[in-house]
Amino acid sequence: MGLGLGAVYSKLLTGESAIRDFLTVGAGDRLREKVYLEADGRIWDVSGNQWLLSLDPRVIGIWVAEDLGGRLSYTLYVRDAEPEEEGGVARNALGIMKLEYTDRIVEDNGTLFLFRVLSTVVHHIGALRTWLLYQKFYKKPGVTYERLKAVAAAYTYPRRVRIISFRFDEDNNYIFPMDLLADIRSSGRYMLGMRHSNQVLKRIMEVGRIVVAEAPAGYKQAIYKLGRNHSAAPPPLDQLPFGVVATRQWGYYLPEWVESYKEMQIGKTLDLGSHMLLCANSDEEVILRPATPRLHHIHFLYFLHQKGGRLPYPVVP
């Protein structure tokens, strides 16, 4: 059978027969991509300390050890590699995001600054091809061209998928994946951006407990099937296609193949718009097995930029 008109159009624009929002790759802790924050002429390497935490509006959280407040302008540069010595961080950046300071969360050893994305320029592929892809494939209610560009820039840096576990009684054990969360390792904090439409959000805020677990990339299909569990009644544990283990302190259930987990207390919450930010902390990480490459999301535009064997991570089918 021949290709449909949509597939033919996609093939002409991208060389791919199907357009997606994201690709999944397997990666460890060491990522090649780099992210730099420029504020009034000063530049910070924030590669491992920046996260997308809300989508409408787009909110970026950046963790730094010093005060960034009171500056006139903020720009985030997202790159697929370290900059060359000449040209600086702006040269050949794939995503350039103009930011506006909105709030901060102060901890003992640093501060999470929250910025709203004002505008974004992307250079993954040509501007005309990007616009045509948006018009044909990405444009839908609530998805503006600015939203597409901001998400593409943010997901040029691979975003790790983690497993979340929560229960509020014997019959309601929720296990689902998330990638809008900040892992602030120096402070033992997680900041989780959860949609207001998530039916379990209110319960999580009432109970004030959650478990965050690391999972291998090889379990992608099982992880994706868990995605429906935060918007509907969860299935009984004996109907899950895998065994489970209970966490040490609270007895929350996790897939038997997770590699590690943290039982976390939720403290402060902050409304970011489409998402609620849950600020959680933990004193202990429980290691169950050695770490392997974990599942990460990258944007499809970044994949197109890296076609031809240059993508630094294996694609997880």
Please state the three-class secondary structure of 199-254 as a single string. Answer: CCHHHHHHHCEEEEEECEHHHHHHHHHHHHHHCCCCCCHHHCCCCEEECCCCCCEE
Is the model's pLDDT at 209 over the cut of 90?
yes
- Angstrom CA distances, 185 to 104, 270, 276, 303, stand at 18, 20, 21, 28
On whether both 289 and 174 belong to a single domain, the answer is yes
Is the model's pLDDT at 78 over the cut of 90?
yes
Domain span at 203: 159-296
Is the model's pLDDT at 1 over the cut of 50?
no
Last residue of a domain, one of 158, 192, 216: 158
CA atoms of 249 and 265, how far apart (whole Å): 12
Under DSSP, the state recorded for 2 is P
Q: Which residue has the tokens 């900059």?
A: 83
On whether both 69 and 179 belong to a single domain, the answer is no
Q: What percent of the chain has pLDDT over 70?
A: 96
Asked whether residue 9 is domain-assigned, the answer is no
CA atoms of 80 and 60, how far apart (whole Å): 18
On whether both 173 and 291 belong to a single domain, the answer is yes
The pLDDT tens digits for 10-38 are 888 898 888 999 999 999 999 999 999 99
On whether both 269 and 247 belong to a single domain, the answer is yes
What does the pLDDT average to over 293-314? 91
Q: How confident is the model at residue 232 (pLDDT cuts 50, 70, 90)?
A: low
On whether both 37 and 59 belong to a single domain, the answer is yes
Asked whether residue 118 is domain-assigned, the answer is yes
The pLDDT tens digits for 120-165 are 999 999 999 999 999 999 999 999 999 999 999 999 999 999 999 9
Prediction pTM value: 0.95
The pLDDT tens digits for 158-185 are 999 999 999 988 778 899 999 999 999 8
Alpha helix ranges (H) inside 48-102:
none
Last residue of a domain, one of 138, 158, 178: 158
Query: What is the length of the chain?
Result: 317
Q: Which residues contact 87 (CB under 8 A, 6 or more apart)?
A: none
Last residue of a domain, one of 123, 158, 193: 158
Give the pLDDT confidence score for residue 66 in this predicted structure: 79
On whether both 172 and 220 belong to a single domain, the answer is yes
**pLDDT averaged over every residue in the chain:** 92
On whether both 101 and 51 belong to a single domain, the answer is yes
Q: Which residue has the tokens 């370290």?
A: 82
